[in-house]
């Protein structure tokens, strides 16, 4: 039996929902739509701080918490608020609620990336949860989508 949450006006069924981006699971925590922000205009340069986004759904009966992350492709990974300020306590994951780590909200920030990151590139990332433990999986930089419409006439 899947539990439902709300995403905009659409129902969210964590058991069947197939999000773009990478999906994973550790214990009762579902990870959906995990991706590195798409580069705008040119690749992310070496040394850049690069945002990463994901959705988390805790199917457990007890709260959990995303407490950290790491990747060999960056000097460190911070959990930050919508203004980019570190959240040393991580992100709480209440039972049966979807937490969207997205632009303007809490999200991950890969600090000082060690190599150029182009749209479509994969890298390993490890997420650490207070109760569920750690999970490592591939995360991809979203391929830029350019608006093909003509430039408006002036």
Kindly report the length of the chain: 154
Cα 117 from Cα 50, distance rounded (Å):
9
Which stretches of the chain are assigned E, i.e. beta strand? 5-7, 10-12, 22-26, 29-36, 50-58, 64-70, 74-80, 91-93, 98-101, 107-113, 122-129, 133-141
Q: What is the pTM of this model?
A: 0.82
Domain 5-141 has CATH 2.60.40.1890: yes
Cα 92 from Cα 21, distance rounded (Å):
22
Counting residues of the chain whose pLDDT is more than 70, the rounded percentage is 80
pLDDT of residue 142: 86
Q: Judge whether residue 34 has pLDDT over 70.
A: yes
In which band, very low, low, confident or very high, does the pLDDT at 130 lie, cut at 50, 70 and 90?
A: very high
Per the DSSP assignment, residues forming a β-bridge with 12 are 5
Helix, strand and coil content of the chain, in percent to the nearest 5, comes to 0, 50, 50
Q: Judge whether residue 152 has pLDDT over 90.
A: no
Q: How confident is the model over 2-13, as a mean pLDDT?
A: 45
In which band, very low, low, confident or very high, does the pLDDT at 6 lie, cut at 50, 70 and 90?
A: very low
In which band, very low, low, confident or very high, does the pLDDT at 14 lie, cut at 50, 70 and 90?
A: low
Cα 143 from Cα 67, distance rounded (Å):
28
Tell which phi-psi region holds residue 93, choosing left (phi > 0), alpha (psi between -120 and 50) or beta.
beta
- Going from N- to C-terminal start, the domains of the chain cover 5-141
**Residues 42-66: pLDDT tens digits?**
899 999 999 999 999 999 999 999 9
pLDDT of residue 20: 63
Average pLDDT score over the chain = 85
């Amino acid at each position: 039996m899947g539990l439902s949450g709300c995403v905009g006006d659409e129902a969210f069924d964590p058991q069947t929902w197939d999000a773009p981006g990478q999906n994973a699971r550790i214990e009762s925590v579902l990870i959906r739509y995990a991706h590195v922000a798409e580069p705008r205009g040119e690749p992310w340069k070496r040394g850049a701080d690069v945002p990463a986004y994901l959705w988390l759904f805790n199917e457990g009966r007890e709260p959990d918490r995303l407490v950290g992350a790491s990747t060999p492709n960056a000097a460190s990974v911070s959990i930050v608020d919508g203004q980019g300020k570190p959240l040393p306590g991580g992100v709480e994951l209440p039972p049966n609620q979807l937490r969207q780590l997205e632009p303007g909200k809490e999200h991950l920030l890969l600090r000082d990336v060690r190599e150029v990151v182009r749209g479509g590139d994969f890298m390993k990332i490890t997420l650490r949860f207070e109760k569920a433990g750690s999970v490592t999986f591939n995360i991809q930089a979203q391929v830029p989508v350019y608006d093909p419409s003509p430039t408006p006439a002036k």
